[in-house]
Structure 1
Amino acid sequence: MKILHDNLKGSTQEKVNLLESRQEHCIIGEHNLRDFPFLTNPKNIIRYHHEKCDGSGFFGLSNDEIPLMAQIIAFSDTLDLAFDLRNTINKELIIMFVYEHKTTFFSSALSEVFFKISEQDEFWEALSDENIDDNLKKVIPNYSNELDYSEIHTITKTLSKIIDAKSQYTQTHSLGLSEKLERMSEFYGMDPIMTLKLLIATDLHDLGKLAISNYLLDKPGELSKDEYEEIKKHAKITKLCLQNIKGFKEITEWASNHHEKLDGSGYPQGLKAKDLDFNSRLIACLDIYQALREERPYRKSMDHIKAMGILKSMTECGQLDTDIVGDINNVFSKDVSSKASR
């Protein structure tokens, strides 16, 4: 829960600071995780993670009205924002801060627990950069469970919302891509398992963008050569994040190949037609179509006809699969015809 508590964030530091001062990120953050298959009941933990024990938080809850897990997240979040917890020089300042805000920001019970464990040198040493990963592994329960693709899709749908929230221009990108993938899957008569695997790939295809600066993602003008190279890294990062997950071999390829082109001009690997299977080609075509139908900082959204014109020109250059682009036109031109006839 702590890892996911600020799942609406992922923007510039200025925007992050703004969100911290608004209850919006608590409400939407809670909504984003409503279908996540937690092992315990997480209801209202994210919603109330900015509440204070004196009732001065966003929702006015106080003391025991605030779920304990929300109190713990708020406690650690407050200290993390106020101090560099990795620097032991801040030790006395941190302890004094907690003492001064005992019964206002933090409950007496939680504060007393902190005072007790903060007496141990090991507690502070565990927060250093070189120790924190190993110490987290020690306290995280050793839990493993095999999930089917339907259960995995429940998780990746949540992750796609977090990915899309990275930029105001991509807030519905993965959702739109998934909806179009389902339409094409139905058109091709794909079996349910294949459809689920493709949906998981579309949910995660832009995972690497979480590591890309919003300065670049939201830049209103043309990107420089170096900036474009930085943006391109997201596809490789997606692959690095997914490639070691058991049962994800095909999903990893489909997700990370969404910017590859049949003529080898794509990225991150410069794959050619012989290296790209049907599903990689399908997601690549749909990703471009979906992106063209959306607004970007440097252009307006395009209608179906204009978007298809660009896709068709890319088939003529040998970059996209001609048959798939034709099928996309057949499926989604019906939407245009339907709207026109109303």
Structure 2
Amino acid sequence: MDFNLNEFLGAVANTLDTIEIDIFGMATNHSKRIAFISVKIAHELQLTNEEIFDLASLAIMHDNGASMKILHDNLKGTAKEKINLLESKKEHCIIGEDNLRDFPFLTSPQNIIRYHHEKYDGSGFFGLSEDEIPLLAQIIALSDTLDLAFDLRSAFNQEIVTAFVNEHRNTFFSPLLSDVFLNIANQHEFWEAFSDKNIDDNLKKVTPIFSNELNYNEIHTITKTLSKIIDAKSKYTQTHSSGLSEKLKKMAEFYKMDTIMTLKLLIATDLHDLGKLAISNNLLDKPGKLSKQEFEEIKKHPKITSLSLQKINGFEEITKWASNHHEKLDGSGYPEGLIAKDLDFNSRLIACLDIYQALREERPYRKPMDHNKAMEILKSMAEVGQLDTDIVGDVNSVFLNL
């Protein structure tokens, strides 16, 4: 299909911003500002459009490793203090690089996320210096350092920022990148772009547009990357999406689905819990019963998934299947309270498998269930009209002896 990479990148950027809400208590637009500065520098250096697009992607995803719950447990202080504490842990660089290992970049960049905290003088996490540090990593490092050190949205900080870059020429930053940034910093419109209301439009203006003819297998490679980031948010969901995908494959074989339909469903399962990035781990990992208000917060995640994906052209069916995974045939599900006539076979299938997969996993309030116990619950839900009886029976047949 004709897959607009910019639309997908926008969905990723908005989704990763929701991690910031949980960890830092606010959406800082940090990654978007990093991407904007990086792309502006790349244009000055006359990098190719492909290199610039990959740089924008990497800048937006530079902190993707921050979704790993263990890295932001016990962070205290203001949003800015929490960001700095998280950024001081090199593990997020290693995890982030690994998460993107299979991402189909246009130019095959290597070790950009891993080394995005290296300093020109060799005083970074891994001790690389000067040209040992990949250029794209150097660009992101400069952009990231400035946004962590200063509120770039404030006009009062412009002179302080430029003085800081001059001060750290040859230490934090290369002379070349320092000069390029200082040249850009003389442009008034550069600083206007950083406000929360302007950053989205300005990032779009400077990022090259790429719309590639990708097959569904290639798109699945992209969405698998995002599913790893989603699942990493809670220790109880480390393998949820991958486990759901494996079960979906087996059911697709059972139903003799063609390759394209199977891949579209796998993409939907990759993304079905995208909205959980916006849900606090205090709720996702709560050991006791959720209050009514807490459960209402949890129930928002399928709608957030839908809102994140709906601007991607060609994803209409995938978005529907991903967003419907908590709907029930009797209208008791969420977020829309759909009924049987509104739910197609694939929505019903993913809903059944999502429940089955979740029951087979450990949760903070219970141990994992075996197949028979899980099927008792699915069958009881089918009996009261919540799940498709035929699909529940097929799930039982396929997984009985596995």
Residues 89 and 137 of structure 1: CA distance in aligned 2, closer, same or farther (over 3 Å): same
> What is the CA–CA distance in structure 2 between the aligned matches of 1:251 and 1:75, rounded to whole Å?
38
TM-score with structure 1 setting the length: 0.92
Which deviates more from structure 2 when the two are superposed, residues 42-51 or residues 221-230? 221-230
Shift of 1:130: 2.6
Cα-to-partner distance string for 1:109-146 (whole Å, 9 max, x where unaligned): 21122222212222211212232222212211132223
Among 193, 196, 212, the alignment partner of 1:126 is 193
Q: In structure 2, what is the equivalent of residue 314 of structure 1?
A: 381
> What is the CA–CA distance in structure 1 between the aligned matches of 2:230 and 2:312, rounded to whole Å?
19
Q: In structure 2, what is the equivalent of residue 115 of structure 1?
A: 182
User: Does residue 1:3 correspond to 2:70, yes or no?
Assistant: no
Amino acid at match of 1:34: R
**Any idea what SS the aligned residue of 2:60 has?**
coil
Which deviates more from structure 2 when the two are superposed, residues 282-291 or residues 92-101? 92-101
Shift of 1:240: 1.7
Residues 247 and 85 of structure 1: CA distance in aligned 2, closer, same or farther (over 3 Å): same
Residues 273 and 135 of structure 1: CA distance in aligned 2, closer, same or farther (over 3 Å): same
> What is the CA–CA distance in structure 1 between the aligned matches of 2:375 and 2:324, rounded to whole Å?
21
Among 154, 160, 172, the alignment partner of 1:105 is 172
Q: Which has the higher contact order (CA 8 A, sep 6+)?
A: 2
**Any idea what SS the aligned residue of 1:129 has?**
coil
**Any idea what SS the aligned residue of 1:135 has?**
helix
> What is the CA–CA distance in structure 2 between the aligned matches of 1:325 and 1:129, rounded to whole Å?
47
Q: In structure 1, what is the equivalent of residue 231 of structure 2?
A: 164
Amino acid at match of 2:65: L
Instruction: Describe how 1:257-276 pairs up with structure 2 within 5 A.
Output: 257-276=324-343
Cα-to-partner distance string for 1:198-253 (whole Å, 9 max, x where unaligned): 10110111111122222222222222212211111110111122233222222111
Cα-to-partner distance string for 1:32-87 (whole Å, 9 max, x where unaligned): 11221111121111111111112122211111100010011111111222221111
Q: In structure 2, what is the equivalent of residue 23 of structure 1?
A: 90
Which sections of structure 1, spanning at least 5 residues, go unmatched? 336-342
Q: Is the 8 A contact 1:167 1:217 kept in 2?
A: yes
> What is the CA–CA distance in structure 2 between the aligned matches of 1:93 and 1:307, rounded to whole Å?
60
> What is the CA–CA distance in structure 1 between the aligned matches of 2:191 and 2:330, rounded to whole Å?
54
> What is the CA–CA distance in structure 2 between the aligned matches of 1:280 and 1:104, rounded to whole Å?
55
Among 220, 242, 247, the alignment partner of 1:180 is 247
CA RMSD after TM alignment:
1.8
User: Does residue 1:292 correspond to 2:354, yes or no?
Assistant: no
Residues 333 and 36 of structure 1: CA distance in aligned 2, closer, same or farther (over 3 Å): same
User: Does residue 1:89 correspond to 2:141, yes or no?
Assistant: no
User: Does residue 1:331 correspond to 2:388, yes or no?
Assistant: no
> What is the CA–CA distance in structure 2 between the aligned matches of 1:43 and 1:150, rounded to whole Å?
22
Which sections of structure 2, spanning at least 5 residues, go unmatched? 1-57, 76-81
Q: Is the 8 A contact 2:119 2:128 kept in 1?
A: yes
TM-score with structure 2 setting the length: 0.79
Which deviates more from structure 2 when the two are superposed, residues 211-220 or residues 1-10? 211-220
Shift of 1:20: 2.3
> What is the CA–CA distance in structure 1 between the aligned matches of 2:130 and 2:290, rounded to whole Å?
50
Instruction: Describe how 1:51-70 pairs up with structure 2 within 5 A.
Output: 51-70=118-137
Q: Is the 8 A contact 2:84 2:148 kept in 1?
A: no
Shift of 1:16: 6.1
Q: In structure 2, what is the equivalent of residue 239 of structure 1?
A: 306
Which deviates more from structure 2 when the two are superposed, residues 37-46 or residues 279-288? 37-46
Residues 134 and 53 of structure 1: CA distance in aligned 2, closer, same or farther (over 3 Å): same
Q: Is the 8 A contact 1:9 1:16 kept in 2?
A: no
Identity of aligned residues (%): 77
Q: In structure 1, what is the equivalent of residue 280 of structure 2?
A: 213
Give the count of matched residue pairs.
335
Among 32, 48, 60, the alignment partner of 2:115 is 48
Amino acid at match of 2:164: F
Shift of 1:18: 5.2
